[in-house]
Every structure is written in structure tokens, then in C-alpha cells.
């Protein structure tokens, strides 16, 4: 690779990485916890019950609970997602195809149902810190645009990955085994950035690609919509067959047993687990019961299947075997499986969690490399100070996420259940306001070492308190939950115990590397530079002011010289008449009584041109004018000196005329000299 191409890729990698670094860190840090958001909710609730299997759901009872909430289900499609670690069943209703039925005002069309009591609760009735971090992962707190910002960040992240691989390609393997902890800071961060970047490279590439698809799917659908001639219903039916709708037929008088169809679907394929259940056109003669599910990941990675029963006739309307692949469905399923890491159980989530935190470190080390690379003597104090301020803000925002997340976990456990309706507000205040205050505090310290040290210390202390607070509040001590095989609750305590212990160990290991220039010294140097620049500007202004005064005086002087020449011409012409007055005849030889026109023109030309230059000198300073003035002054000076010499030779008795011509010659010489100085000063 040529040096030019290398520099292009290197700077592209640096710029694309620095621009998105803070947003990317937030995405990965929040995403690490989003992987276990359901376990976090179970931990907060202290619910130790077993997860209800899809085939054990009492759908008849669930439907009665929904109707008891005031929802008229006829003509609606009901989407049901079986319980997960939260121990709740997710339900979503569409609008009824019967236009006489409208949604009940202030009644949400998506909610949860408890897996044991089937009691309906609103989606946000118990807002979990896991939900907060999950939504922060794609900037959901920024309405509408948040997810697109996350998508563009993912796109630039992909760009940074590709350019980074190109830059480090030749030395990627050799540098992977190099780590020099006792050398200069830039080398330390570079070694860590390269080694950990290579470890997490496949994971990071997967996340960049899948995030682009999930967050910017609108750009994927735009060309597809064109292919389908804007028939969005047909497009969605092909891309997501589970969303297929059916025209509403007449209403049935009898209520069918839904549970029996679930039992049939469960036995359709071996090791087949329902992921989503749809009841379509509820209460109509063409009421459909649809089950979408997957084979076990050990048996088949992309084993998605579907069976649709027409309930009135107890026949299969359509089916898709999980052993037969579908390109369109499998592409989306692959992307979702790779992104959410739900195909390898808790062990894979732990690996994803660790890789997400490694990526966070890669991002931070990249910022620190950028800072150290610009901490050089050849870079001005002002630029160094600006770079450091950027670094202080970046690290304050990123590193303060660790302690504030731990604090939010403690706060979520301490909020009484009778304040469930206010949980979202309380958690938002604790997390976002606390995050802002911590960021301001660390920024005010203006020391990345303190930011790193204390964020690790506070985060580890609060992290170690999380299992203790959980045990005191709910009695679910981590050794008890482990012994009782309550792994959902145990997982969170174990995560924080390990994470906090590692952070505490790192806290005791890290030592301050004395920077090349301390921040205080850099500020003092910057202030000195500012003062020197200010003095230099003042001196320059004084010089310019003196120069302006000098040039102004010079132009006035030149204008006076031109005026003296005008007066000289007039006096010379008057003195020239003396010979007429003192001769025997008052008549000039050849005179007719009329003044010749050429005599008028002669006087107007010399006197008028000189007067024009006199006035124009005060108003015009262009180069062409100065050059013209010099040429005309030289010609005029030659003319005056020549006239002076001829006057001595032929009119020696006319002393007054000779004297005025001598003075005009002197003025002409001074005029030329001053004009040359004016030209030199401005040039």
C-alpha cells in the first residue's frame, strides 16, 4: 500500500472513530446489559417462579382476562409472546376489522399478563432498569430520530472497522502478541487497542452489520417497495409471512377451545418451541390459530417453522416446516439471532457481555491514542488544551456510566412496589440526572486519571452492594438462588459480583503515568500564549496605526506638492507678463486682440492635471494611480528643469520667472521622492 493510501485510510479510521466514540460507547455499554434485560426484570421483582412453557399457557383463561379489561376481541388479531425471564406473557391487539368496534379510550392495545394469575398489567406498569438500558441502547429516549442515529453510528462503526483492518492488516498478527506496559502511554494504548480489537473484531463486525439492518431497515424496504409497486401489504406478507391477514367473515355463535390447537401445534414437530402465537380474526368463522416457533439451536440454527389452523374446520390452512429453509425469513432470523445472541443460552450471553465490555475498552483506548498522539511539542498549547478538553468530556461521559448504572440497580431494588406507577420517572431521574452530575464533576476535575480511578472505585463499591441490597430487600441471597436453581435472579448478582471485583482489582493496579505536560502547566502556557498574542496584536495595531498615520501624512504632503506646482504654474504665467509690461510696446508681436485657443489649452492642461492629481491623491491609493502619479511627476520635473535651463539661457534678465521655475523644479524633485516613498510603504 502506498504511503498516501495508508494515510487516507488511517485518518479516515481516526476521524470516523472519534466522531462516534461517545455514542458508540453508550450503545455497547447499554447493550451489554440489554442482553440480560429480562433477567434484570426478574431480579428486580424477586420473582423466583419457573418460566411457564408455551404449551402450558391457558389461552382460554388469558382471553377471558383480556375481555374482562373491556376489550372487544371480535375481528381483531391477537399476538401472544410466551413468558420469558420476566414471568409475564406479552399480548398485542390489532384494530378490529369490524369498523363498528373501536378501541376503548385510554386502553392500551399492548400489555402484559402474569403467567400465574393472568392478571393484566400495562407495558410500563413495572419499568425496569433493564428496559431503560435496553432502550438507551438504540437511543429510544430521543423520539423518532433516536433509532436512526443509532443506525448511522453503526454504519460509521462499520466504516471504522474496515479502515482499521486495512491500516493494521500487515502487522495485525504480530502486534496481537505484543504488549509493552512499561513504555510510553501512546504505545500502551496502541497495543491494547490492537490486541483487544482483534479479539473482538468478528463480534464487532457482526454487531455493526446487524445494527445497520435493524436500525435502518426503512432504507432496505424502500427499493423493495418500488419492486412491489407500492403494494406494502404484499411486501410485508412476503418478508414477514407471520403478519399475513385474512378478510373478516361472519361472526360465530360458539366460542372455540384455543388450548386444544396449541396442544396440536406443540406435537407437530419434535423439539419445536413456540415463539409467537397469533389468533387472527377472533370470533369469526375464518378464525385462525397460528404458531411460529423454532427448533432447538443444537438441532438446527435456522429451524423456524409455522403452522396455521383454521379453527372452525379444525384443518391446517398452511404450514412451513422448520426443516425447510426460506431465504427471506432466514436472512432476517440470522440477523436477529446474531444480534441478540439468543441461540446459545446464558453462556453465549456471558460471552457477548464480555465482548461488549472489551469493545468499550477498545473505544476508550482509541480516544486515548488520539489524545496522546496530539500531546506533542510541535502542537500549539491552544490546540493541545482543546484536545484535552475534548478528551475530558468524552471520558467523563463514558466512564461515569459504570457507577451510575450500579446506582440505578440499587435504586430500582429500593423503590417500593406501591410506587410502580412512578418507577420510570424515578429511574430516569436517578440515571440521567445522576449521569449528568457525575459527568460535570469529572469534567471539572480535568484529569483523566481521576475520572478513570474514581469511576472504577465508585462503580465497584456500588456493584458489590447490589447483591447485598437484593438479599436485604427480598431475601434472595445469591447463594440461596443458586442452590434453588433460580438462575435468572442469581445471574444478576453473579454478574455484578464478578464485574465489581474485576473493577476493584483494576483500581488497585492502575498507577498514574506522569503526563508530558501537566494540565495546569498547559493552561499556564496557553494563558501565556494568549497574553503574548494579545501583546503582539496590540503592537501590530500600534504599528498599523503608525503606518496609517505616516501614509496619511505622506498623501497630504504629496497633495500639497501638487498644489504648489499648480500655484507655480499660475505665478510663472503671471511673471511671464512682466516682459510685456516693461517693453516699449504693450502688444505681443502678431497679436490680434484675441487669446489663441492653444494658449488656453496649454494652461488648462498643465494646471488642470496638477490640480486633478492634488485632489485624487487624497481619495485614491490604488497601485495604478501611484504608478501614474510617479510617471507624470517625473515628466513634469524634467519639463520644469528644462524650462528653468532655457529661461537662464534666453531670459536671464527675467529674475522672478527664473526664481519661480527653480522653485518648481525643487518641488518636482521632492514630489517624485515622496511618491516613491509612498509606493514603497504600501507595497
Confidence at residue 518, expressed as pLDDT on a 0 to 100 scale: 62
Confidence at residue 657, expressed as pLDDT on a 0 to 100 scale: 74
Mean pLDDT of 287-305: 88
Mean pLDDT of 548-555: 82
Classify residue 339: in a domain, yes or no: no
On whether the CB atoms of residues 492 and 355 are closer than 8 A, the answer is no
Report which of 298, 260, 287, 293 is spatially closest to residue 275, judged by C-alpha positions: 293
Classify residue 238: in a domain, yes or no: no
Confidence at residue 77, expressed as pLDDT on a 0 to 100 scale: 92
Mean pLDDT of 355-359: 92
Specify whether 491 is located in the same domain as 587. no
Confidence at residue 584, expressed as pLDDT on a 0 to 100 scale: 43
Query: Which of 591-630 are b and which e, b meaning 16 or more Cβ less than 10 Å from the residue's Cβ?
Result: eeeeeeeeeeeeeeebbebbbebbeebeeeeeeeebeebb
Classify residue 528: in a domain, yes or no: no
Confidence at residue 122, expressed as pLDDT on a 0 to 100 scale: 84
Residue ranges in 89-245 assigned as alpha helix (H): 129-137, 146-168, 172-176, 185-215, 217-227, 232-239
- Check whether 653 has a pLDDT greater than 90: no
Confidence at residue 186, expressed as pLDDT on a 0 to 100 scale: 62
Confidence at residue 577, expressed as pLDDT on a 0 to 100 scale: 53
Specify whether 41 is located in the same domain as 141. yes
Mean pLDDT of 114-121: 88
- Check whether 87 has a pLDDT greater than 60: yes
- Check whether 253 has a pLDDT greater than 90: no
Backbone conformation region of residue 6, classed left if phi is above 0, alpha if psi is from -120 to 50, else beta:
alpha
Specify whether 9 is located in the same domain as 109. no
Report which of 375, 388, 527 is spatially closest to residue 449, judged by C-alpha positions: 388
Confidence at residue 650, expressed as pLDDT on a 0 to 100 scale: 78
- Give how many domains the chain has, as a whole number: 4
Confidence at residue 221, expressed as pLDDT on a 0 to 100 scale: 74
Q: Residue 325: CB partners within 8 Å, gap ≥ 6? A: 302
- Check whether 516 has a pLDDT greater than 60: no
- Check whether 478 has a pLDDT greater than 70: yes
Classify residue 225: in a domain, yes or no: no
- Check whether 587 has a pLDDT greater than 80: no
pLDDT band per the 50, 70, 90 thresholds, residue 30: very high
On whether the CB atoms of residues 17 and 160 are closer than 8 A, the answer is yes
pLDDT band per the 50, 70, 90 thresholds, residue 604: confident
Q: Which of 42-51, 350-359, 581-590 has the lowest mean pLDDT?
A: 581-590
Specify whether 324 is located in the same domain as 180. no
Specify whether 54 is located in the same domain as 114. yes
Classify residue 523: in a domain, yes or no: no
pLDDT digits (tens, 9 = 90+) for 388-412: 888 889 999 999 999 999 999 999 9
| Farthest CA pair distance, the chain | 151
108 vs 594, higher pLDDT:
108
Specify whether 571 is located in the same domain as 440. no
Specify whether 409 is located in the same domain as 512. yes
pLDDT band per the 50, 70, 90 thresholds, residue 187: low
pLDDT band per the 50, 70, 90 thresholds, residue 585: very low
Specify whether 563 is located in the same domain as 674. yes
- Check whether 75 has a pLDDT greater than 80: yes
pLDDT digits (tens, 9 = 90+) for 436-452: 999 999 999 888 889 99
Q: Which of 173-187, 286-300, 633-647 has the highest mean pLDDT?
A: 286-300
C-alpha–C-alpha distance, residues 499 and 393, integer Å: 24
Confidence at residue 586, expressed as pLDDT on a 0 to 100 scale: 45
- Check whether 629 has a pLDDT greater than 90: no
Specify whether 20 is located in the same domain as 143. yes
Confidence at residue 581, expressed as pLDDT on a 0 to 100 scale: 46
Q: Which of 18-22, 235-239, 306-310, 632-636 has the highest mean pLDDT?
A: 306-310
- Check whether 103 has a pLDDT greater than 70: no
Q: Please, how many CA atoms are within 13 Å of residue 500, restricted to the half-sphere of its CB?
A: 21
Percentage of the chain surpassing pLDDT 70? 89
457 vs 639, higher pLDDT:
457
- Check whether 669 has a pLDDT greater than 80: yes
Among 502, 517, 532, identify where a domain stops.
517
Q: Which of 185-194, 558-567, 608-617 has the lowest mean pLDDT?
A: 185-194
Classify residue 617: in a domain, yes or no: yes
Query: pTM for this one?
Result: 0.75
Mean pLDDT of 503-525: 73
pLDDT band per the 50, 70, 90 thresholds, residue 46: confident
Specify whether 324 is located in the same domain as 427. no
Q: Is 68 exposed, middle or buried (0-12, 13-18, 19+ CB in 10 A)?
A: exposed
Confidence at residue 239, expressed as pLDDT on a 0 to 100 scale: 77
Classify residue 652: in a domain, yes or no: yes
Specify whether 22 is located in the same domain as 156. yes
Q: Which of 132-141, 327-336, 623-632, 674-683 has the lowest mean pLDDT?
A: 674-683
Residue that is written with C-alpha cell 465482548 in the block: 355
Give the mean pLDDT of the chain. 83
pLDDT band per the 50, 70, 90 thresholds, residue 566: confident
pLDDT band per the 50, 70, 90 thresholds, residue 625: confident
Confidence at residue 598, expressed as pLDDT on a 0 to 100 scale: 67
Backbone conformation region of residue 87, classed left if phi is above 0, alpha if psi is from -120 to 50, else beta:
left
Specify whether 166 is located in the same domain as 117. no
Q: Three-class SS of residue 277?
A: strand
pLDDT band per the 50, 70, 90 thresholds, residue 51: confident
pLDDT band per the 50, 70, 90 thresholds, residue 637: confident
DSSP string of 406-468, one letter each residue: HHHHHHHHHS-GGGGGGHHHHHHIIIIIHHHHHHHHHHHHT-HHHHHHHHHHHHHHHHHHHHH
Which domain does 600 fall in, by range?
546-682
CB atoms within 10 A of CB 344: 14
Classify residue 535: in a domain, yes or no: no
Amino acid at each position: 500500500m502506498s504511503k498516501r493510501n495508508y494515510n487516507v485510510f488511517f485518518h479516515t479510521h481516526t476521524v470516523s472513530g472519534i466522531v462516534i466514540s461517545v455514542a458508540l460507547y453508550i450503545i455497547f455499554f447499554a447493550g451489554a446489559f440489554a442482553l440480560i434485560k429480562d433477567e434484570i426484570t426478574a431480579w428486580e421483582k424477586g420473582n423466583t417462579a419457573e418460566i411457564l412453557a408455551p404449551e402450558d399457557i391457558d389461552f382460554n383463561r388469558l382471553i377471558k382476562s383480556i375481555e374482562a379489561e373491556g376489550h372487544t376481541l371480535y375481528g381483531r388479531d391477537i399476538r401472544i409472546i410466551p413468558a420469558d425471564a420476566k414471568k409475564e406473557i406479552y399480548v398485542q391487539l390489532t384494530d378490529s376489522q369490524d369498523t363498528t368496534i373501536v378501541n376503548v379510550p385510554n386502553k392500551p392495545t399492548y400489555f402484559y399478563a402474569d403467567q400465574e394469575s393472568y392478571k393484566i398489567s400495562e407495558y410500563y406498569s413495572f419499568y425496569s432498569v433493564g428496559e431503560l438500558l435496553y432502550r438507551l441502547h438504540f437511543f429510544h429516549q430521543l423520539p423518532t430520530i433516536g433509532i436512526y442515529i443509532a443506525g448511522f453510528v453503526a454504519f460509521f462503526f462499520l466504516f471504522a472497522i474496515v479502515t482499521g483492518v486495512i491500516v493494521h492488516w500487515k502487522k495485525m498478527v504480530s502486534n496481537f502478541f505484543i504488549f509493552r506496559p512499561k513504555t510510553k502511554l501512546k504505545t500502551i494504548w496502541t497495543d491494547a487497542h490492537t490486541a483487544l480489537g482483534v479479539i473482538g473484531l468478528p463480534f464487532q463486525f457482526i454487531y455493526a452489520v446487524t445494527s445497520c439492518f435493524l436500525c435502518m431497515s426503512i432504507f432496505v424496504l424502500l427499493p423493495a417497495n418500488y419492486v412491489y409497486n407500492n403494494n406494502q401489504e404484499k411486501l410485508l406478507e412476503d418478508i414477514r409471512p407471520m403478519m399475513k391477514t385474512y378478510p373478516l367473515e361472519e361472526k360465530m355463535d360458539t366460542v372455540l377451545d384455543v388450548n386444544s390447537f396449541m396442544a396440536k401445534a406443540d406435537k407437530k414437530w419434535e423439539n419445536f418451541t413456540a415463539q409467537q402465537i397469533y389468533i387472527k380474526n377472533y370470533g369469526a368463522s375464518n378464525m385462525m390459530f397460528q404458531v411460529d416457533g423454532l427448533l432447538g439451536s443444537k438441532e438446527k440454527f435456522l429451524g423456524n417453522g409455522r403452522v396455521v389452523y383454521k379453527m372452525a374446520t379444525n384443518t391446517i390452512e398452511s404450514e412451513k416446516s422448520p426443516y425447510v429453509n426460506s431465504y427471506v425469513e432466514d436472512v432476517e432470523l440470522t440477523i436477529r439471532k446474531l444480534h441478540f445472541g439468543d441461540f446459545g443460552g446464558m453462556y453465549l450471553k456471558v460471552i457477548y457481555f464480555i465482548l461488549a465490555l472489551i469493545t468499550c475498552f477498545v473505544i476508550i483506548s482509541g480516544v486515548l491514542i488520539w489524545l496522546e498522539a496530539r500531546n506533542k511539542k510541535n502542537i500549539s498549547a491552544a490546540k493541545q488544551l482543546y484536545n484535552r478538553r475534548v478528551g475530558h468530556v468524552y471520558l467523563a461521559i463514558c466512564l461515569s456510566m459504570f457507577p451510575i448504572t450500579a446506582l440505578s440497580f440499587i435504586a430500582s431494588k429500593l423503590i417500593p412496589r406501591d410506587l410502580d406507577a412512578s418507577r420510570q420517572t424515578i429511574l430516569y431521574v436517578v440515571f440521567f440526572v445522576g449521569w449528568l452530575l457525575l459527568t460535570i464533576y469529572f469534567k471539572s476535575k480535568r484529569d483523566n486519571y481521576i475520572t478513570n480511578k474514581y469511576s472504577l472505585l465508585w462503580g465497584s463499591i456500588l456493584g458489590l452492594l447490589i447483591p447485598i441490597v437484593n438479599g436485604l430487600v427480598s431475601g434472595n441471597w445469591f447463594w440461596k438462588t443458586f442452590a434453588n436453581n433460580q438462575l435468572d435472579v442469581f445471574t444478576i448478582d453473579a454478574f455484578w459480583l464478578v464485574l465489581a471485583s474485576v473493577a476493584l482489582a483494576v483500581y488497585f493496579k492502575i498507577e498514574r503515568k506522569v503526563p508530558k505536560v501537566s494540565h495546569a502547566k498547559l493552561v499556564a502556557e496557553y494563558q501565556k500564549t494568549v497574553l503574548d498574542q494579545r501583546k503582539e496584536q496590540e503592537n501590530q495595531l500600534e504599528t498599523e496605526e503608525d503606518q496609517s498615520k505616516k501614509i496619511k501624512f505622506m498623501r497630504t504632503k504629496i497633495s500639497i506638492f501638487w498644489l504648489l506646482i499648480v500655484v507655480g504654474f499660475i505665478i510663472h504665467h503671471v511673471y511671464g507678463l512682466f516682459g510685456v509690461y516693461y517693453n516699449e510696446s504693450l502688444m505681443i508681436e502678431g497679436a490680434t486682440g484675441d487669446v489663441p485657443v492653444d494658449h488656453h489649452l496649454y494652461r488648462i492642461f498643465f494646471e488642470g492635471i496638477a490640480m486633478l492629481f492634488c485632489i485624487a491623491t487624497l481619495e485614491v491609493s490604488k497601485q495604478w494611480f501611484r504608478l501614474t502619479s510617479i510617471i507624470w511627476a517625473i515628466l513634469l520635473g524634467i519639463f520644469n528643469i528644462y524650462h528653468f535651463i532655457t529661461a537662464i539661457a534666453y531670459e536671464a534678465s527675467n529674475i522672478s520667472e527664473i526664481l519661480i521655475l527653480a522653485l518648481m523644479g525643487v518641488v518636482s524633485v521632492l514630489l517624485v521622492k515622496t511618491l516613491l516613498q509612498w509606493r514603497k510603504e504600501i507595497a
